A = this chain, B = another copy of it.
Amino acid sequence: MEGVAIIGAGQTRYGDFPEKGLKELFAEAYFEMLASVDRGFDPQLIQAAYIGCLSAGSGFQLGQLAPLLMGHVGLPHVYAVRVENACASGGYALYNAACAIASGKFNFVLAAGVEKMRDVSSTKGRYWLGISGDTEYERLAGLTFAGIYALMATRYMHEYGLKREHLAMVAVKNHRHAVANPKAQFRQEITLERALSGPPVAYPFTVWDCSPTSDGAAVVLLCNAKLAKSFTDRPVYLAGFGAASDYLAVHDRHTITSLHATRKAAAEAYKQAGIGPGDIDFAEVHDCFTIAEIMAYSDLGFCEEGQAHRLLEEGVTQLGGRRPVNVSGGLKAKGHPIGATGCGMAYEIFRQLRGEAREPSRQIPNARFALSHNVGGSGGTAAVFIYRRGD
């Protein structure tokens, strides 16, 4: 099994860009990625591309999105394929790109994701999100996506004494993190009071507990680890990657205060990397709703189940804390262009581990290991990656 390195990464700002289509968003992230390779990179070396996107086949009525986008950036003949696992589509693109390098079949592979959610009718936006759950048992019965996570939150509150304030603390933290991130959609702080008193969505969630709809793209360039030092003195290695699934319908699961797919994916990634949760210096986790970040803390092994709120109370996961989580702003404030999210996490980690967070206030010092965590739907799928700074 060949080693996998990241030698370049690019990302659009996430937000509302009515003037840009899928092609334009992809190209913007692609060219930033190319420019980021320290000693330059001839794009003709790229042999394969895995592109995550949920809406291409539905809202945008595009088949074969992957070769379409690659043709748009001047690489029409490269092997390219779209992968889809709802909100984890970008993470699965990254996972499959890593497998392609690991197989030895390819030396240079793109992992990318792109989504447009903003300048479409609201019906379509809701439609895409809805299809990420179980259509027969959840969506057609009227259960929304926010509703599913709200069920998880209320159960968590019931079992572990979590307060609504803890949910709001996630939103406040991630909004504060996003202020210094030029790529984030919402760069404004919110107070705990505001987070608690926002318009209700599904109890216990206000609008501030929910990630936004976003346009955006992210592109990551992977190469065989043996070749990385030809292109940069500062590669980032993918030390471990895991992915796993679960029943889509939450009624089929043993618990709804933990995502089994996350636990299984994380176990696989930790095992491959040969490290444990205690070695992770910082993480980007899937906070589509505030409860999702809280569940991720225990599912990733950062604390025992039911103890997540203590990490928030003690400031462990804020910038400057012992293990910052979502310093990018997370899905909550950086934004959540579905297919792009998993690769956008890798972009943030690539820059952080290389000391390139740009704004000194948001640079995590001396980090060696980082983790990213991307969830599909309400936990039907999850992909976890462990990154190691190249020395």
| Closest residue on chain B to residue A243 by CB atoms | B79
Q: How far is the CA of A61 from the CA of B246 in the complex (A)?
A: 19
How many protomers of this protein does the assembly include? 2
Q: How far is the CA of A64 from the CA of B148 in the complex (A)?
A: 16
- Would you give the 0/1 interface string for A63-88, flagging 1 where the beta carbon is closer than 8 Å to chain B? 11111101100001111111111100
B105, A260: Cβ atoms closer than 8 Å: no
What is the interface of chain A mostly: helix, strand, loop, or mixed?
Answer: mixed
B68, A103: Cβ atoms closer than 8 Å: no
The answer to whether the Cβ of A261 comes within 8 Å of any Cβ in the partner chain is yes
B63, A245: Cβ atoms closer than 8 Å: no
Known: A79-B245, A246-B77. A64 touches B99 (CB 8 A): no
B134, A381: Cβ atoms closer than 8 Å: no
The answer to whether the Cβ of A297 comes within 8 Å of any Cβ in the partner chain is no
Choose one: B83, B132, B248; the contact of A82 (CB below 8 Å).
B83
The answer to whether the Cβ of A141 comes within 8 Å of any Cβ in the partner chain is no
A101 to chain B, nearest CB (A): 8
Within A48-67, which residues are at the interface with B (CB < 8 Å)? 54-58, 60-67
The answer to whether the Cβ of A131 comes within 8 Å of any Cβ in the partner chain is yes
Interface residues on A, range: 35 or more
B131, A78: Cβ atoms closer than 8 Å: no
A244, B79: Cβ atoms closer than 8 Å: yes
The answer to whether the Cβ of A135 comes within 8 Å of any Cβ in the partner chain is yes
A330 to chain B, nearest CB (A): 21
Q: How far is the CA of A362 from the CA of B260 in the complex (A)?
A: 48
The answer to whether the Cβ of A127 comes within 8 Å of any Cβ in the partner chain is yes
Residues on the B chain within 8 Å of A103, using CB: 1-2, 99-100, 102-104
Residues on the B chain within 8 Å of A127, using CB: 61
27 contacts between A and B (CB under 8 A): A1-B104, A57-B57, A57-B84, A64-B376, A64-B380, A66-B245, A66-B381, A67-B85, A67-B248, A67-B381, A68-B134, A68-B248, A70-B245, A71-B245, A71-B246, A71-B247, A71-B248, A71-B252, A76-B245, A76-B246, A77-B261, A77-B264, A78-B244, A80-B85, A81-B381, A84-B84, A99-B100
